[in-house]
Amino acid sequence: MKFWWHFLGGFLIAFFLFQPMTQAAVVEADLTAKAGMVVDVKTGQVLASHDDRKRFPIASLSKLMVIYLTEQAVQNGKIKHDQVVHVSKEVADFSQDSQVANIPMTVNQGYTVEQLESAALIASANGAAIALADLVFGSQNNYYQAANQLLASWGIYNAQITSASGLSQGDMGPFKSDHLDDTVENKLSAREIALVSLRLAQDYPRILKITAQQSADFPDKAGQPSKMETTNPLVKSTNFKFQGLKTGLTPNDGFNVVGYTWLKGRPVITVILNADKETVVNDTEKMLKQVDTQTDLKQLNPTQQIHVKNAPAKASVVTVKPQKPLTVFAPKDELLTQQTLKVTDEHLAAPVAKGQVVAAQQVEFKDAKLDDYLQNRPILQYQTKRRGAVANPLQIMWDQLKEIVRHW
């Protein structure tokens, strides 16, 4: 009997110790939408969330991936922003179908890469997104493969992207895949869309100059400038200054919108999925106000000390400080803790240069479940405040002798 009590006790201890911890945002968002998030752009910290891991139809939010891969191609020298593109007859005809497109194009008119990006982002032009995918990858199927590989590289697996524009297969006309049902459409979670948006804003911030516009010119069929209006109601918000980012409308699941704005002086990304078009702005602003009223900014910039071998006795303890302070959003009165300082080189020895990175430290909330980040948890990187010289040879020999005796 005693054996079984010990066994049961050990089992229960192991059960509770090794249960995976569920991460939680700093604030639980109160929304009418099916899902939503607020994320700090600088750290990837999840500030507010509601059902952020379930996948929903994302419609034209899919174009964010087209834009990322287009910008990547520009960065790699494959194409240029001012490069003139002539779309195929297939794309031109598709863009003139008012049932599925809103910015008509022709085979005779040339469009720059930047104009196509603007049309895809501001007016959510399906033809422009398809044209960019063709330009960069040669075919839609090649684009789908690249988009899924991109997502997988960010830890977003089994996304099964099958549309550059975000349209469902039944609306894709000549671009429909023969082996897919008409109802198949791109789906991602609010968390995954937040990560896509975060990477786009971090890696290619120039895009924000496009998405911040309420309107822009695009050549009409005659080549004359024609005004296209933004589909993003957040850009017209008077309570917060939004710089985009993108919308997506599904016929059966409602309105999606990604925003880029500032909160407490820091850039944040907002995501709302599958909402009523009439409530999407209110839901977004409500999330932001919840975070604003329920959190404080906390900055960590601690000074630490570490031991350096082969340094003069009086200088063997070196003062280090973070390369840059770390700022996080924290619930009011919530405590932050710092893990043990880890020296990056266990054989660290003098001489050390001023500003040399010598240690790292992870920061976490006392309530560990609040440590929710889209990717890696931020780390404080410590550097030396001053140069550290080498001790004279006799002292080094004496220190080594003491170390030998200590381990005798």
Overall domain count for the chain: 2
Going by the DSSP 8-state scheme, the letter that residue 378 receives in this structure is P
Answer yes or no: do 249 and 318 share one domain.
no
Residue 204 has which token pair? 């290619």
| Domain span at 387 | 301-406
Does residue 54 lie in a domain region? yes
Please state the residue numbers annotated as binding site. 246
pLDDT band, residue 378 (cuts 50/70/90)? confident
Answer yes or no: do 172 and 312 share one domain.
no
Q: Give the number of other Cβ atoms within 10 Å of residue 248's Cβ.
A: 25
d(CA 365, CA 384): 26
Does residue 4 lie in a domain region? no
3-state secondary structure of 92: helix
Higher pLDDT, 330 or 344: 330
Answer yes or no: do 257 and 325 share one domain.
no
Q: What is the mean pLDDT of residues 177-195?
A: 97
Where does a domain end: 259, 278, 295?
295
Answer yes or no: do 277 and 307 share one domain.
no
Structure confidence by residue, pLDDT tens digits, 8-32:
334 333 333 333 445 678 999 999 9
Higher pLDDT, 224 or 363: 224
Q: What is the mean pLDDT of residues 237-251?
A: 92
Going by the DSSP 8-state scheme, the letter that residue 34 receives in this structure is S
> What is the number of alpha carbons within 13 Å of residue 58 lying toward its C-beta?
30
3-state secondary structure of 385: coil
Answer yes or no: do 280 and 252 share one domain.
yes
Answer yes or no: do 318 and 388 share one domain.
yes
Does residue 18 lie in a domain region? no
pLDDT band, residue 405 (cuts 50/70/90)? low
Exactly one of 49, 95, 118, 124 is catalytic; name it: 124
Answer yes or no: do 276 and 138 share one domain.
yes
Does residue 6 lie in a domain region? no
Answer yes or no: do 246 and 336 share one domain.
no
Where does a domain end: 295, 314, 341?
295
Q: What is the pLDDT of residue 12?
A: 33
Answer yes or no: do 140 and 257 share one domain.
yes
Going by the DSSP 8-state scheme, the letter that residue 153 receives in this structure is H
Taking a C-beta distance cutoff of 8 angstroms, is the pair 357, 376 a contact? no
Does residue 207 lie in a domain region? yes
In DSSP terms, which residues pair with 245 in a beta bridge?
259
Where does a domain end: 295, 313, 345?
295
Answer yes or no: do 97 and 234 share one domain.
yes
Exactly one of 49, 63, 163, 168 is catalytic; name it: 63
pTM to 2 decimal places: 0.86
Told to judge if 153 belongs to the known catalytic residues of this protein, a careful annotator would answer no
At 52, which CATH number?
3.40.710.10
Exactly one of 60, 165, 168, 189 is catalytic; name it: 60
Does residue 284 lie in a domain region? yes
Told to judge if 60 belongs to the known catalytic residues of this protein, a careful annotator would answer yes
d(CA 111, CA 135): 12
Answer yes or no: do 280 and 309 share one domain.
no
At 374, which CATH number?
2.60.410
Answer yes or no: do 150 and 253 share one domain.
yes
Please state the residue numbers annotated as binding site for substrate. 246
Lowest-confidence region among 159-168, 302-311, 323-332: 302-311
